[in-house]
Amino acid sequence: MTVNITTCAPELAGAAGEAPYAASKAGLIAISKGFARAGGAFNIRSNCVSMGVVRGTRFVEVHHPELIDESVATTPLGRLSSTLDIADAVVFLASDAASRITGATIDVNGGYYMRP
């Protein structure tokens, strides 16, 4: 069983200058689906957790603190994800409660991918 971490960049079609990053994340989603298809006969599951802007990460806190206010204001749930939000989704997908889930991408981003 695999749980891969990706972002909602492919759903946002990549901001200016970020197309290669978005393409790499789309590739991770595609290869996870391929693993799910190939591993299904062996009861091996493969899924992704897609995150948006996550509070407490070096990317946000050190390199892009300007994303915090902008993201909170434009995310439907009105807050950033926490590292615990992401971990909870990973634990769920790795558990027996998700035994019938494979080839899926779970968005854990408060609707960030729907922002204007």
Which token pair is 90?
């990973």
Cβ atoms 26, 50 nearer than 8 A: no
For tokens 């408060």, what's the residue? 110
Provide the token pair at 27: 């590739």
The secondary structure of the chain in percent helix, strand, coil, rounded to multiples of 5, reads 50, 15, 35
CB 45 within 8 A of CB 3: no
Catalytic residue IDs: 21
Encode pLDDT of 56-103 as tens digits. 888 777 778 888 888 899 999 999 999 999 999 999 999 999 999 999
Class for the domain spanning 2-114? alpha beta
12-40 pLDDT per residue, tens: 776 666 788 889 999 999 999 999 999 99
